[in-house]
Amino acid sequence: MIVNKYKDIIINKYTEYDEDTRLVSDRGHNVEYLTTMKYIQKFLKPGAKILEIGAATGRYSITLAQMGYNVTAVDLTPKHVEIMKSKSKGINNFRCMVADALDLSMIENDAFDLVLNLGPMYHLFNQADKQKAINETIRVARKEGICMFAYIPCAAIMLGYGLCHLKAENLKNLMDEIGRFKDVPEEVFSCFNIEDFKKLFDKTNTEYITNVATDGIAYAMKERLEELSDEGYQTFLKWHFLTCERADQQGYSAHLLYICKKK
């Protein structure tokens, strides 16, 4: 059995952090949720069977179950699974369990029409684990099934941590010669250059569909978003949805979403 050897660092992070309200806490964070849901619904078919890996407290999974889909959700953090169980009482088409994205051996091959990997890629710190998480996600998808992977671009580390939180000096020794940031487990989050993330799929049995900036400039400009009128915010969302697949909108997004189809 392969497991994330840094799982205690991750579990401790999310045991202390209120992930349950993050995606609805303000407009800046809500853009990520709205965009991700827009793309999930774009590729969903009636009666689809869904797996979410790294489901956190079930913000996506429970919503999808309430929409009538058969949903299985797994997460590494026991606290998250307990919250999901509490929130999903009475929803018979939803089940959840503690599981590691690196070992989904409890799930058979080709089992799901849509597989969401919306968190694990943030917390993997070596190439082998990153590839294993991707391979496991693809393995449990059916042929022609859709897989979605959320990941963090390197630029978002400088923008979000370095500038928005005024911690740029802490990044000095973590940069390589082309501006990528090293994977340091104690820092909890890992990041990718877009082209490096795409290369992880070169030897997989998948077909690339698109790459999406799920929050674009929303995180960096979240204070300004709060100042917009409701009409102004809806105009921003319309523009964001129209442009979030453009390459020139992606590098500074706090989160990206890679979408592919299993061959």
pTM: 0.95
Q: Tens of pLDDT along 29-41?
A: 999 999 999 999 9
Q: Tens of pLDDT along 81-137?
A: 999 999 999 999 999 999 999 999 999 999 999 999 999 999 999 999 999 999 999
Q: Which residues pair with 213 in a beta bridge?
A: 256
Gap between the terminal Cα atoms of the chain:
26
Amino acid 174 reads L
Token pair for residue 224?
Answer: 């300004």
Under the banding of pLDDT at 50, 70 and 90, the label for residue 162 is confident
Mean pLDDT value across the chain: 94
* Mean pLDDT (whole number) for 235-241: 98
Confirm if 206 and 260 have CB atoms less than 8 A apart: yes
Under the banding of pLDDT at 50, 70 and 90, the label for residue 10 is very high
Q: How many Cβ atoms are within 10 Å of 138's Cβ, its own excluded?
A: 21
* Mean pLDDT (whole number) for 227-247: 97
Under the banding of pLDDT at 50, 70 and 90, the label for residue 1 is low
pLDDT at 159: 83
pLDDT at 2: 65
Per-residue buried b or exposed e for 225-263, using 16+ beta carbons within 10 Å of the residue's own CB: beeeeeeebeebbeebbeebbeeebbebbbbbbbbbbbe
Domain boundaries of the chain, sorted by first residue: 7-262
Contacts of 214 (CB under 8 A, 6+ apart): 31, 32, 35, 36, 150, 244, 253, 255, 256, 257
Superfamily of domain 7-262: Vaccinia Virus protein VP39 (3.40.50.150)
pLDDT at 5: 86
pLDDT at 212: 98
